[in-house]
Amino acid sequence: MALTNMAVRHAKPLAKDYALPDYNGLALFVNTKGIKCWHFRFSRAGKQPLISLGAYPELSLRDARALRDVARVLMARGIDPRVHRQLERNARRLATENA
């Protein structure tokens, strides 16, 4: 079942870390201190790596779903989203160093 904004907002810390699944690999991870982060799990070469998309509430449910969709498009094109993210970071760093 898909997450709702209310379910995300009311997710409380428990004695153990836990995740509230959305769909297509997106989940809200809640740690024991109450910090909420969006994670995207995907399959690649027989493994299931995990990407952290950002923290809630800075990144809303709608924005997390949009980032998940972008990552799924990259995977459909045969591009590892983790590698793509690292290349973007390197390009931004080079652009600021050369400016």
Position 72 scores a pLDDT of 95
Q: How many structural domains is the chain composed of?
A: 1
What is the phi/psi pair of residue 85, to 5°? -60, -45
Walk along the chain (99 residues) in steps of 10 and give the mean pLDDT of each run: 92 96 96 96 88 96 97 94 94 88
Q: CATH number for the domain including 57?
A: 3.30.160.390
Domain housing 73? 5-98
